[in-house]
Chains A and B, each alone.
Chain A
């Protein structure tokens, strides 16, 4: 059995040699890609008409931190109009910045988006090269947060969870987006998910947290009432991001609700939400 001892010694050496570096950079070539215009436009009641029009890039196109970064990304020189109720709002190619949270728009108007549910908005864009982009969206009614309940853990009484309730209109199909931010709206959300009421058998819908909140925590609690188009778009964005990183996930092409000869990507939607800010207290 002496030979077996040598084998075990060899075996132990191999175990030690088993490398752990399982990730490495590789050079790959992707198929050619034609840049596409990207629309991001949220019609938020009480806020001005604003739109962000950018261009997509080939995946390996170089980036840069220089001043050209925005110029390369923003798609300027387009004609943008949004029409509703026989009115046409022209969005001029004038940039606007919003802080807290930081947002940028390159087509803006001074006119304010009305809050009336049911109004249908139509977007028309003529790009500098003459190609077009268009889209439609309807203002949905606000679904308010009914109540918020803070419950303390019976085992660890320093931690609490938050339950947020809304009442769903079961006579129609509704879609919701839930965002939960701690500390500030600029933070990476603790929760960001989409919900459909298709399988709900009760009017009441609850959104919860884990037992992770402590006294003094600030919680920004947002419930968006969204269209099916927006639901599909956000879901496809999430799947595209996730599908690139997870071998078990099936990626998805972006499901945009804008179309036209410009072969655009993006979303044109009304944005209706209720947001509550709670500071956790005993």
Chain B
């Protein structure tokens, strides 16, 4: 045995092996060579089938001897392909390329996996999205964003209006493991969360696990958002792009060596700063004019892949993005920039028809920097988190009854926390603060999806994770199990349990995601966060094209990290003194999704009824439980796409959310303060946390897509989006506004006293139409 670790697997397979033939290979898109993830292969008449993994690799084992068998290869949105094979004992390698259906307006795909596969799978609490879905739906400012589409799925709540923050099944926003080609993205936002870092032209699809986490994932409590970049067309060159209201995109992809290697480069940039610079230049001579600061963001995705041999494939991909906010005049030079950089190198190796491996190295970096230079003085503030991760994953299919995954990873983390330096250039005055940490995170996992009977499938496994940050060392056992019992071909019952640990924590001073939020490691004081989640559910396929999924779940959260009231984040070398540790829980008796994915009308309805609580923090709310901001009781979303013809498509989304929870003051007093200080006629007195619920949020978005093909063969479309089509004033925040009147004589002492208080609601977006032109040459 060349590889010792294969011994166990060999035995696993051999124990069940009779005379068998294994057919394996890759499933790809015939037009561009992209791997098809989750495509099905089925041996007709034998009741045996399987699906391709995240690299398009599939394997199916058939009894040897007997007649030829017809294999059917399928993937939603693609023409099925059939191949006759003769299982004669020798293993067969069979790569298949599937042809997409239709010419222009393809059947709209709501998720990459077929509905039937969803019914049969042990996976539950999973949502898959392709960028084709996102591109058809109406978007804020016309800027397509896959993360915002996720917010329309049940169990996932948006942080606030228009932003990409997501809260999954009662988890905090930092409890989502967001990976781009397996590299962690620490802050997946642009423009304070109004746009995500994922350029829809570069992203192929994404998969979200809300529960029932597979053992290969760890490190966050509440979800895994696995974003895959496109590989690049390995058959022909393509140029795609789009012009929108706030940003433009351009993507170039093509073969390096036809059908063996390819590349993709995709960029996006906003251009509001070009307009504001013009306005500033036009007002240069106006002494009363206050220049508008520059703001822009950009991102760049690149990927190359090489087929090194029939058994080896290499992928290299990277992302770099920055938001930049700057202002400069004669005496003032201010810069605030932030962003992510990620890099991934992956080597796929097929050991044989039953064993596939993937070795990965990833690098992640998130940083922000605030710099201000004033003559003679400088101010610098920044934070940075960096990861270097090595991991290896094996995918082993000894027979049709078992699909085994195992592997491990080691991650080196480096944190530079709230590094502040302020002082005079001559060094006479100097303030400095900030902390540096590092840590090692380890993971080992094993999981087996086992078809116990024709009706019962179980996916059992575990992950052992560990964290080392001297002198702190933690290790945890994380059992994972999920099961599917098929009541019939169209109806299944499911259940799952999973434990997750989180060793890095986001210290956020508000309920909203800000670039200055700080990532902080587990230490002796700040222990790893832990979650346990159980879920039960059922999936029913109605009329072959409507999938009804119901799930109920309960989640326990331990070692939750929050700030004490009035915490000082910056200029503080004792950050842990500002933290407090508590608990939490969330549950839902009803998380319902009804999906329809073929025909002229497609879409889904999602509804969640859920409760979320945090508590047990010794210095918050006297230790009592309270609802976090995102504890919205009812979430209902309806998404509809209607194909009128190959050229016209109409889309609509409607969202209803119970109001967000807010912390409003209960009382007030007047504070005259010391001589020279401002008299405060109204000082709010805050009592118990988050006792006020905003009015409900409701929004209708509409979209129209018109596609055409030019005489030269290029494909183009114009997408019109109307965000908040009913022009409803949804609450963004509510504040209590005192009305003040000055009393006292002219020339004598005067004082402002309050004469009344009004509650005022501020909305963010009225009706917002937008238009985007997209092209593909």
**B-contacting residues of A (Cβ < 8 Å)?**
1, 3-4, 7-8, 11, 14-15, 17-20, 22-28, 30-33, 35-36, 38, 40, 42, 52, 54-60, 62-65, 69, 73, 97, 99-104, 151, 153-156, 179, 181, 185-186, 188-189, 192, 196, 198-202, 204-206, 208, 210-211, 220, 222, 224, 232, 235-237, 239-241, 243-245, 247-255, 265, 271, 275
| Chain A residues, CB < 8 A from B330 | 153, 155-156
Give residues 163-182 of B contacting A (CB, 8 Å).
none
Question: Looking at the complex, which one of A57, A63, A73, A271 makes contact with B756 (CB distance below 8 Å)?
Answer: A63
| Chain B residues, CB < 8 A from A32 | 666
Q: B678 to nearest A CB, angstroms? A: 5
Query: A26 CA to B659 CA in the complex, in Å?
Result: 14
Q: B23 to nearest A CB, angstroms? A: 49
Quick one: given A14-B767, A240-B665, A248-B512, are A24 and B760 in contact (CB under 8 Å)? yes
Q: B647 to nearest A CB, angstroms? A: 10
- The yes or no answer to B771 lying at the interface (CB within 8 A) is yes
17 contacts between A and B (CB under 8 A): A19-B766, A23-B761, A26-B695, A40-B673, A42-B674, A54-B669, A59-B685, A101-B676, A153-B375, A154-B375, A189-B677, A199-B431, A232-B566, A236-B566, A241-B683, A244-B665, A271-B674
Query: A26 CA to B736 CA in the complex, in Å?
Result: 10
Q: B287 to nearest A CB, angstroms? A: 10
| Chain B residues, CB < 8 A from A102 | 744, 749-751
- The yes or no answer to B735 lying at the interface (CB within 8 A) is yes
Among the listed stretches B58-66, B363-371, B450-458, B725-733, which one makes contact with chain A, having 4 or more residues with CB under 8 Å of it?
Answer: B725-733
Quick one: given A18-B766, A38-B669, are A202 and B423 in contact (CB under 8 Å)? yes
Query: A156 CA to B123 CA in the complex, in Å?
Result: 68
| Chain A residues, CB < 8 A from B766 | 18-20, 22
Considering only CB atoms, which chain B residue lies closest to A205 in the complex? B429
A56 pairs with B759, CB closer than 8 A: no
- The yes or no answer to B563 lying at the interface (CB within 8 A) is yes
Interface centre among A30, A153, A244 (most CB of B within 10 A): A244
A198 pairs with B573, CB closer than 8 A: yes
Q: B141 to nearest A CB, angstroms? A: 12
A247 pairs with B432, CB closer than 8 A: no
B566 pairs with A255, CB closer than 8 A: yes
B687 pairs with A31, CB closer than 8 A: yes
Query: A1 CA to B717 CA in the complex, in Å?
Result: 12
Considering only CB atoms, which chain B residue lies closest to A269 in the complex? B674
- The yes or no answer to B640 lying at the interface (CB within 8 A) is no
Q: B718 to nearest A CB, angstroms? A: 7
- The yes or no answer to B704 lying at the interface (CB within 8 A) is yes
Q: A196 to nearest B CB, angstroms? A: 7
Give residues 349-386 of B contacting A (CB, 8 Å).
374-377
Query: A205 CA to B675 CA in the complex, in Å?
Result: 23
B510 pairs with A202, CB closer than 8 A: no
Considering only CB atoms, which chain B residue lies closest to A24 in the complex? B761
A189 pairs with B678, CB closer than 8 A: yes
Considering only CB atoms, which chain B residue lies closest to A58 in the complex? B667
Considering only CB atoms, which chain B residue lies closest to A244 in the complex? B684
Considering only CB atoms, which chain A residue lies closest to B565 in the complex? A252
A185 pairs with B676, CB closer than 8 A: yes
Quick one: given A25-B759, A189-B676, are A204 and B683 in contact (CB under 8 Å)? no
Q: A17 to nearest B CB, angstroms? A: 7
Query: A239 CA to B670 CA in the complex, in Å?
Result: 15
- Given A27-B759, A153-B330, 6 other A-B residues pairs in contact with their CB atoms under 8 A: A22-B729, A58-B668, A185-B676, A188-B678, A199-B572, A251-B665
**A-contacting residues of B (Cβ < 8 Å)?**
160, 330-332, 374-377, 420, 423-424, 427-433, 509-512, 514, 563, 565-566, 568, 571-573, 663-678, 680, 682-688, 691-692, 695, 704, 706, 708, 718, 720, 722, 727, 729, 731-736, 741, 743-744, 748-751, 753-764, 766-769, 771
B692 pairs with A28, CB closer than 8 A: yes
Q: A155 to nearest B CB, angstroms? A: 4
Question: Looking at the complex, which one of A58, A99, A204 makes contact with B666 (CB distance below 8 Å)?
Answer: A58
B755 pairs with A65, CB closer than 8 A: yes
| Chain A residues, CB < 8 A from B751 | 102
Q: A9 to nearest B CB, angstroms? A: 12
A103 pairs with B672, CB closer than 8 A: yes
A201 pairs with B685, CB closer than 8 A: no
Query: A22 CA to B376 CA in the complex, in Å?
Result: 42
| Chain B residues, CB < 8 A from A155 | 330-331
| Chain B residues, CB < 8 A from A235 | 566, 568
Considering only CB atoms, which chain B residue lies closest to A202 in the complex? B430
A201 pairs with B374, CB closer than 8 A: no
Query: A269 CA to B752 CA in the complex, in Å?
Result: 25
A23 pairs with B672, CB closer than 8 A: no
Query: A185 CA to B695 CA in the complex, in Å?
Result: 43
A252 pairs with B566, CB closer than 8 A: yes
B767 pairs with A243, CB closer than 8 A: no
Q: Which 4 A-B pairs have the closest CB atoms?
A: A102-B749, A247-B733, A252-B566, A56-B669
Considering only CB atoms, which chain B residue lies closest to A73 in the complex? B670
| Chain A residues, CB < 8 A from B667 | 33, 35-36, 56-59
Question: Looking at the complex, which one of A65, A202, A251 makes contact with B428 (CB distance below 8 Å)?
Answer: A202
B687 pairs with A222, CB closer than 8 A: no
A245 pairs with B571, CB closer than 8 A: no
Query: A15 CA to B566 CA in the complex, in Å?
Result: 42
| Chain A residues, CB < 8 A from B431 | 199-201
Query: A211 CA to B514 CA in the complex, in Å?
Result: 30
Interface centre among B330, B376, B665 (most CB of A within 10 A): B665
Considering only CB atoms, which chain A residue lies closest to B704 in the complex? A7
Query: A179 CA to B430 CA in the complex, in Å?
Result: 21
Considering only CB atoms, which chain B residue lies closest to A13 in the complex? B769
Query: A18 CA to B718 CA in the complex, in Å?
Result: 21
A60 pairs with B757, CB closer than 8 A: yes
Query: A153 CA to B510 CA in the complex, in Å?
Result: 39
Question: Looking at the complex, which one of A33, A35, A40, A58 makes contact with B672 (CB distance below 8 Å)?
Answer: A40
Interface centre among B735, B759, B768 (most CB of A within 10 A): B759
B429 pairs with A202, CB closer than 8 A: yes
| Chain B residues, CB < 8 A from A15 | 769
B729 pairs with A99, CB closer than 8 A: no
| Chain A residues, CB < 8 A from B764 | 22
A28 pairs with B759, CB closer than 8 A: yes
Quick one: given A99-B749, A224-B674, are A11 and B771 in contact (CB under 8 Å)? yes
Interface centre among B375, B420, B764 (most CB of A within 10 A): B375
Query: A262 CA to B740 CA in the complex, in Å?
Result: 29
B760 pairs with A23, CB closer than 8 A: yes
Query: A19 CA to B666 CA in the complex, in Å?
Result: 32
Query: A52 CA to B671 CA in the complex, in Å?
Result: 10
Query: A104 CA to B670 CA in the complex, in Å?
Result: 12
Query: A155 CA to B424 CA in the complex, in Å?
Result: 20
